Structure 1
């Protein structure tokens, strides 16, 4: 089977490795020619997964049209806020029945759309052609062959199973699910909670605080999910609690690392310079806040993360605001 990964960042490259290790002919699209050349010449991505060897059935190109020609599974692995513009360029080259797989964990600014919704609208495809992969999937650990599991969500279970079969390896175990909404919300909101976790960590706060953020963060995810029609059981699984714990606890997590910079008192711009990237949760917290308000959902941690990131509120003030909220039943 020919498979394509559009986006050669850490997770896109690791996912191409998974597809290749599962026996698929896999093409990895890279925006920069030097990345594609390095992968083809040296079998590794020097900027994102240096030291991880890609199999001979993984090749790289800068031509999306070339990559998409004959592809049965098309994996989208670009930053969530760039998806719409990129996909508009790629849509004419998509196969008429190709399965589109989203690795992205964000909510689009302005529209408050989930990534699957952006794909459906921009590519002009039916919802049953779109699958979502989500779980505790830190790219460097998976690239190193450490055991991990994930969820493949699609309303068409035959397509979910097709993707599941295409990415099953000795170190990567996918489960199927039909709750696309829940899987996407779990992946997007956990990035915001991980920012809060990173802030708390660098402020020197202890395990009680961190455990509180994880569990109350999960409650926020669940409330938003209930309002949007997700299955609450999804949030107890890999795409919910599993992804949330992995992203909060790991020093490899971009969102946690970015939160740590904010917790040290850095501004948004200073944190971006220090970490040299923008974590997905930084932009998505605005869209998630708007989505929650539109549905009348209370998300106090998300609200305070947005204030720290985009309104310059001191993290200590944000913490005091959270702790001074009126008491209520759990």
Structure 2
């Protein structure tokens, strides 16, 4: 019995480091050169420089090295989860697969747990999400996250919790994954507001109305209101809309300023905004902020046009 983490980016590496306090961890990297370098230097110099990997973390590029693990954390970009699972049919039978990605798959309009159930029907699906940055987790700073699964969640909660990583459990996988997905969209909007010089009052207004929009959209998918009010919804929204470490916020800042952004950096909110807009249109859900962010990121409208459109909406009761 052991734990494996699939994906040696910043978040996957951070999870491997903290979970190694409980038991040995296998960390899989797609790139063999990266894996060998991390194994030798005991450091992820590209993503988490200055943080030492514990000796009971084994870094490998051989996926077979994870076969003995009964719990596997998927720390790969949301838009690549489906393809990764389809590449390895049957490999994860009987295991617990815990998605650590945030977003909605734009190709299928599904969340991570749905992709797990579809592609790995003999595995148990769970999701780990909430307000967190990889550097904080890796350095042992106090962090609280939501663990969502429909069965056996209490045992998994105990196993994945560490002295500095506190997990709260829920059976509402839909709400947990939508909170983590949607906050990325609205963090782009918060960045646009600040980048365009519209002020902190405007950001507070956008965050508040975004939270209402998150709840409305998630409820239409069957999520529980209390899940969105928790760590995976409101908590993650606050962190991502206010911290300069947020990639989605930084991307929004560049949009608001009209500047360039490093396109090699993963910004999950872009694809998720598109997916949310498509789903909202199909289901007749009012999501004006997500719609504007999708149009902005797709270069269909300007920042000024987006702001004017939102401010010109009919007055309503809160």
Q: TM-score, normalised by structure 2?
A: 0.97
- Corresponding position of 1:54: 53
Deviations 1:182-224 (A, max 9, x none): 0011000000000001111111222211111111111111001
Deviates more, 1:299-308 or 1:35-44: 35-44
Within the candidate set 250, 260, 277, 1:289 is matched to: 277
CA contact (8 A) 2:14 2:134 kept: yes
**Structure 1, unaligned stretches of length 5 or more?**
none
Look up the SS of the partner of 1:91 in the other structure. coil
Shift of 1:91: 3.3
- Corresponding position of 1:82: 80
Shift of 1:261: 1.0
Within the candidate set 129, 135, 146, 1:134 is matched to: 129
Whole-Å separation in 2 of the counterparts to 1:166 and 1:285: 34
- Corresponding position of 1:263: 256
CA contact (8 A) 1:40 1:60 kept: yes
RMSD between superposed Cα atoms in Å = 1.3
Deviations 1:10-64 (A, max 9, x none): 111111112112x221111101122211221121111111111121111111111
- Corresponding position of 2:266: 278
Whole-Å separation in 1 of the counterparts to 2:76 and 2:162: 23
Runs of 4+ in 1 over 6 A off after TM superposition: none
Within the candidate set 68, 71, 93, 1:70 is matched to: 68
CA contact (8 A) 1:35 1:46 kept: no
Deviations 1:113-169 (A, max 9, x none): 11110111112336xx1111111011111112111100100111x2x2232122222
Whole-Å separation in 2 of the counterparts to 1:272 and 1:293: 30
Larger fraction in helix: 1
**Structure 2, unaligned stretches of length 5 or more?**
none
Whole-Å separation in 1 of the counterparts to 2:169 and 2:15: 17
Look up the SS of the partner of 1:97 in the other structure. coil
CA contact (8 A) 2:188 2:252 kept: yes
Whole-Å separation in 2 of the counterparts to 1:89 and 1:59: 23
CA contact (8 A) 2:175 2:218 kept: yes
CA contact (8 A) 1:119 1:125 kept: no
CA contact (8 A) 1:104 1:115 kept: yes
